[in-house]
Chains A and B, each alone.
Chain A
Amino acid sequence: MSQGKKAFLIGLLVVLFAFVAAMQVHLDPLRAKFQPGKVTNIQLGTQFIAATLIGLKEVVGGLLWVRTDEFFHEGNYDAIIPMVRIVTWLDPHQMNVYETGAWHLSYNFTDSQERSDRRYIPASKALLREGIQNNPRTYDMYFQLGWLNFNKVLDYAESAKWFKEANIRDAVDPATGRRKTRPQFVGHTLAHAYENSGNVDAAVRQWQENIRANEEYARRYAREEGNQVMVDVARNNLALVLREKETRAKLTPTYNAKFEAHWERIAPRKFRVWGTINVPNGCRVRLQIADRGFKEAFFGSFRWDIDQSQTILIDDLYVRDGKFNRTIDIERDSAIYPLKAEEYVATFTLDPRKTPREARDVLGWMGSALADQPYLVKQGDARILQKEIVLKRSDLL
């Protein structure tokens, strides 16, 4: 080979090396868009296990998820959350893994009296937010975050925010993987969230929109059974809300619920709470016992290493014949309720927005019928009843 040709080839090599280096720098940020692990908090990518070298990430993820299901049925709950982390890391588009993982975190770590460990709620929310970031185009993850706030946290305004996002997105047909219109219960749940948050006008508009959307859905998917039922449900609910809006608008702030709540220590880590409240049967007074100054943590990214020193207990006390009464026994639950703080606040709350329909007929959507009385607290437009009792650590131990 002549010197000229050799010099040409070496020059070509230099140019090509410069090209591939520049191209690699250009590809690095683009690559993150198409590879799993985009918004997980494991920064080093998914290449650490041998199977990923041959592109079997989703297979490994699917098989691990089958194994996770076995853990659940064996009662090995502690093993599940790390598995959720690994499976969503391997395949961030398996939405049922986020959904099941968040459900598990929110509901299944319970104390001896079946109260869930509330310290996992921020982790659950963070997992669902990650699910949303990785699956932003379908309704599923938005709905799940809305449902967590609706059913567990009872923050209806927050749930309405997420249901609203869900209600503008499509679903994926599980049988074919093709896109289809989201299920009709999404719009219905959004309307219920508006009702429960006291946003009555938005609820009315949503029920009207639901009727239109449900009719269209029933026409489009005429072969599916039960679609007409959703239209009928939406019509009935609209009529109900309009009737309630009219009758509850007439309520005046004259109702005295005669609310009182008490706390009594029975033994170490065992106490009785009781009280009176003049509201219909079926209402629940929410009891929260937490470290003084407790604030729910915010997890910017999904992790499950909760603050083990925090104490937060929430229980809903059933009201019957104007009374509520419960013995709280946390003797065997020192891991969930470590009682490390010096002071605690026991808060008894009756929020009209979280009461059954018949109670809201008496109290109003947002408690507008509640007269000025002891323990009346105003939260924005809402009027709630709330009593706080400050407790020392020695009161509980």
Chain B
Amino acid sequence: MTTWVIAKNTLGEAMRRKILNVFLILALGSVIISLTFPFLDFRQQVTILKSFGLGMVQFWGIFIAIIMGITLIPSDVDQRTIYTILSKPVKRYEYVVGRFLGAAITLGLNIFLMGAAFLLVFAVKTNAPAFTALGNYDFRGFLGLWQWSSEISGLMGGIAMVYMKLLLLAAVAIFFSVFMSMTVNFFLSSAVFIIGNLSSVTESMASSPNTAAVLKPLYKAFHVLVPNFGNYDIQNPLIHPDVPQADIGMYMLKAALYGLAYTIILVVLGVLVFQRKEV
């Protein structure tokens, strides 16, 4: 219950923070501006719209996840509100878990808003004749011409994958925020994100015949232990409807499980470190 109260407070604080709102507005603007891509044929326009939309949700989501993750706990310490919180009957693990849950909900809300704007833009783009009819006050024509694209469900899956990726990133940032300053944490979390995206390189190094035998287990261990953000990079088959996608649902489920497990690891580690922290 205490955890939930802290989570709700975290959400309220985050929604009042101007910088996060600025990122959200920039993200919505970026998604909407993609309607103006005029070059190439229609199919390529739609391909670029989908890629750009998912990319923008992720791009601005990265900033939101990192900025929120690195500031939540250190700002309580800097402003000394942590003393007030911990002087009440709040256990330290409840505080860390509550902060994390609040961040997860805030991130979810932001991704939901950006994703909804993207899907709306996609629906408008792929239903241009229906909107032309609407512009002529032809409501029956609008309803008759509107087509629900089966691709939207795939794109929703893509947005869910972006959320899982950013949830993991936020967990990384929150874990480091327990014992790092904000500036160091910003660069460290960004570095982990980049390395996590490059994990296919370590995978290749681990299996390359040119790699020294003694280094292979090291690369392999590095590959499986560093949070692998590349697991969520599956927008390509979602963007192209003609690509086989038979097992993609199961893959997404497994990738989500992986992310959830890694997120729990980071939160537990954060709790253990915060127990020993002197505040």
Contacts and interface: CB of A to CB of B under 8 A. Distances in A.
Interface in A33-75: 33-36, 43-45, 47, 51-59, 62, 65-66
Contacts of B193: 53
Interface string A75-97: 00000000000000001111000
Contacts of A136: 244
Contact of A137 (B93, B244, B271, B275): B244
Contacts of B257: 23
Nearest to B251: A30
A87 to B, nearest CB: 12
Q: At the interface, is chain B mostly helix, strand, loop or mixed?
A: helix
A178 B241 contact: yes
B60 to A, nearest CB: 9
A59 B42 contact: no
A47 B242 contact: no
A35 B233 contact: yes
Nearest to A31: B231
B54 A55 contact: yes
B25 interface: no
Contact of B47 (A16, A34, A44, A62): A62
B153 interface: no
Contact of B265 (A20, A65, A66): A20
A250 interface: no
A59 to B, nearest CB: 5
Interface string A162-206: 000000000010111111000000000000000000000000000
Given A9-B268, A19-B261, A174-B42, A179 B55 contact: no
B241 A177 contact: yes
Contacts of A137: 242-244
Contact of A93 (B58, B151, B236): B236
Contacts of A175: 42-43
A196 B268 CA distance: 71
Most chain B CB inside 10 Å of its own CB: which residue of A1, A58, A65, A92: A58
Interface of B: 39-44, 46-48, 50-52, 54-55, 58-59, 62, 92-93, 126, 151, 162, 193-194, 197-198, 200-201, 203-204, 223-225, 228, 230-231, 233-237, 239-245, 247-248, 251, 254-255, 257-258, 261-262, 264-265, 268-269, 271-272, 275
Given A27-B255, A93-B243, 4 more contacts: A23-B258, A35-B230, A54-B62, A58-B236
13 contacts: A1-B275, A13-B268, A35-B230, A47-B201, A52-B233, A53-B194, A56-B55, A62-B48, A93-B236, A94-B47, A172-B242, A174-B42, A176-B43
